[in-house]
Amino acid sequence: MTEKSKVGGELKFPARLLVPIKKFLENEIVKMKKREKQINQSDPFKHESRMSENSLEEDVDEQLGHFESQIKASFVRKQIVELRKALTLIKLGKYGICQGCGKMIDTDRLAIKPEATICVTCEKEKEL
């Protein structure tokens, strides 16, 4: 049986398990923000030498590098949003409850992806 329980007819994740999850999510946000900063600093469009180097090959490399940086930064920002959403659900007392069907999210899924807000079944339906 999982550690999740019903309190007053309402599904709840045990509070003692939420403390380490919350710390983990907060630490992940800090890591993701640092990663986003690194990605933005590596963007070729941020380099001052960019204007003096005008060969076609260098322009193509800069465009590709900029595109890659933008994609990576966007992915990291989306991860930060997911982590913050999970922290908000902890504050609201709704962490571990599927936002799709209202059932408890399997603890194995949360162990792998603590920021998950929907269960595997709803995730699969969403992909269809």
| Residue-wise pLDDT tens digits, 20-65 | 999 999 999 999 999 999 999 988 887 766 666 667 777 788 889 8
- Residue written as token pair 């966007």: 74
What pLDDT band is residue 71 in, cutting at 50, 70 and 90?
Answer: very high
pLDDT score at 7: 44
Higher pLDDT, 122 or 53: 122
Residue 111, domain extent: 5-127
Strand bridging mode 10-12 / 5-7: antiparallel
CA 7 to chain centre: 29
Beta bridge partners of 12: 5
Please provide the average confidence, as pLDDT, over all residues in the chain. Answer: 86
Higher pLDDT, 112 or 45: 112
Q: Which two tokens stand for residue 32?
A: 């993701």
pLDDT score at 122: 94
pTM of the shown model: 0.79
Backbone angles phi, psi at 10, to 5 degrees: -110, 135
Q: In whole angstroms, how far apart are CA 32 and each of 72, 102, 128? A: 11, 29, 29
CATH number at residue 107: 1.20.120.910
Count of alpha carbons within 13 angstroms of residue 14, beta-carbon side: 8
Q: Domain count of the chain?
A: 1
